[in-house]
Amino acid sequence: MKLSILTPETQLFEGEVTSVKVPGTEGPFEVLKGHAPVVSSLEKGAVYIKTEKGEEIFNIENGFIEVLNNNISLLVQAATEKA
């Protein structure tokens, strides 16, 4: 799956992932390969990204996620990579 994390200022992440966990406004959820198409709002919280190399964590402000054909886009107000 391909993931992009975008803010109004920059692209923070782009690459292949095996799973993404996001803080949906109706509750957290995970996106895996073959996930049904979805557009959902996101609230402030942590995004957990699993790649072949390991796990990365980003703290995000409010935004949206779109999942379509194993392409995932996170459009968020602000985000920082958690050390």
Q: Are 5 and 77 in contact (CB under 8 A)?
A: no
- Over residues 2-46, the pLDDT tens digits come to 999 999 999 999 999 999 999 999 999 999 999 999 999 999 999
CA end-to-end distance (rounded Å), the chain: 24
pLDDT of residue 83: 63
**CATH for 2-81?**
2.60.15.10
Domain boundaries, the chain: 2-81
pTM: 0.92
